[in-house]
Amino acid sequence: MDHQEIYKKKRSARPSDFSDLDFFKDLENHFLEIKELEMSWIEFETPKLIPNKEKAMRLHSLITLTRAIEEELDSAFRAGHIPGTAFFGRGNEGASVGSAFCLQDEEWLVPMHRNCGSHIAKGHPPESIMAHFFGRKDGPSEGRDGNFHMGYRPKNITQLISHIGTTVPIATGLAWAEKYRKTNRAVLTHIGEGGTSSGDFHEGINFASVQKLPLVIIIDNNQYAYKTLLEKQYACKSLILKSTGYGIPGYLIDGTNMILVNYICEIALEMARKGEGPILIESITMRASGHSVYDKFSDYVDMEDMNLWLEKRDPIKRYEQFLINSGIVTEKEIEDSHFKAKEKAALSRDIALKSPFPKPEEMENEIFAD
Ligand SMILES: Cc1ncc(C[n+]2csc(CCOP(=O)(O)OP(=O)(O)O)c2C)c(N)n1
């Protein structure tokens, strides 16, 4: 059997397991908390975690806006407006929005390439995100990048670095600065499960643990690192077990439940702000689209199974079912919220496309210090 055939065989094994992946069963009404060497499964009921209607609707508008923006970006790519590539966080929107929503305005967010929802929740304006992807002057890099190396300084969001893992030491450095300045502010960062195999992940988290820095690290475990499966990425049963090795607390959660993500991140950030040191969270999701716009997902994933999985675990659908079942909002309010999100995303695309391209002579602006 040649390499390609072995690869194909391996891939086709996974999707049929989607509907009953063990960890999702365990994580249905529980999350795992690790403190020192103690592990406890803690039972929760989602309805008890929701605060009030205003927050519930705000979260809904952010998660729907995230999806609407990524859908606009996907169509804009196909229309030739994105000079580079684009990565989307479909399936991960609840984990991005639910976590960044907990940050205070001055606190730093250090996102990865699938955290568009984190940008939105932290306040990065959609037209600026679009302008960034289109390589236009009104984007945060003033058109020097048409890819996902996107940050937004006015809201303390750092720029992405291509080399997976390198953002963890950056988040550690920011958290060190906050501790040194005695600000009581925390830093939130994301990394994929693939990124945890990098040396930088280890160095960053180890230093933060030793120095007891105010850092919350979320591992977005979306089951794939490009085409590498979990069993080729790490040998332990769950990545959260690594928290014990660093001597820091850990939480294993279902990242498709936005309300739970929000609840755990509130706790973790509060612990970090109080000086208790870093906290590791493993958020289990599914990458529900190709690695990037260039990747043909259906070549290696059984789409029928993926759609079955999405029926149950799509973070937006899950959140809406919960809102309706608990009587917090009506179906009409949800429909209106989707309509507004789509309208806003389309408008931001129009605005961004009117922004000029940078001039060649401006290429080195703000790159070198005097
Ligand atoms: C150090 C490094 N090695 C390889 C790559 C190429 N690469 C880009 S994304 C990616 C997969 C990353 O997987 P993961 O960290 O799980 O994040 P995901 O894309 O699944 O969200 C790879 C291998 C890179 N950017 N940097």
> In the chain, where are the structural domains located?
33-38+51-353
Helix or strand or coil: residue 264? helix
State the average pLDDT over residues 266-278: 98
Segment 117-136, tens digit of pLDDT: 999 999 999 999 999 999 99
Does 195 sit in the ligand 1 pocket, CB within 6 Å? yes
Q: Which of 116, 164, 224, 293 to mutate to test the pocket of ligand 1 (most atoms within 8 A of CB)?
A: 164
The single-letter code of the amino acid at 259 is I
- Residue 207 has phi, psi (to 5 degrees) of -60, -45
Residue nearest to atom 19 of ligand 1 (CA): 225
Whole-number Cα distances in Å, 160 to 111, 165, 167: 7, 10, 7
Whole-number Cα distances in Å, 136 to 84, 279, 342, 357: 12, 37, 22, 5
Whether the predicted pLDDT of 6 surpasses 80:
no
Q: How far is CA 67 from the centre of its chain?
A: 12
Segment 188-219, tens digit of pLDDT: 999 999 999 999 999 999 999 999 999 999 99
Per-chain mean pLDDT for the chain: 91
For ligand 1, the distance from its centroid to the CA atom of residue 164, given in whole angstroms, is 5
Task: Please return the burial class of 342, using the count of CB atoms within 10 Å of its CB with bins 0-12, 13-18 and 19+.
Answer: middle
Q: Which residue has the tokens 């606009």?
A: 72
Nearest CA among 43, 24, 21 for reference residue 33: 43
Fold of 33-38+51-353: Rossmann fold (3.40.50)
Q: Which two tokens stand for residue 136?
A: 């236009």
Nearest CA among 312, 281, 144, 162 for reference residue 215: 281
**pLDDT given for residue 23 in this prediction:** 61
Of the two residues 51 and 20, the one the predictor is more confident about is 51
For residue 92, which atom of ligand 1 is closest to its CA? 21
Q: Which residues lie closer than 8 Å to 199 by C-beta, 6 or more apart?
A: 165
For ligand 1, the distance from its centroid to the CA atom of residue 221, given in whole angstroms, is 12
pTM across the whole model: 0.94
Whether the predicted pLDDT of 296 surpasses 70:
yes
Whether the predicted pLDDT of 345 surpasses 90:
yes
For residue 112, which atom of ligand 1 is closest to its CA? 21
Segment 60-104, tens digit of pLDDT: 999 999 999 999 999 999 999 999 899 999 999 999 999 999 999
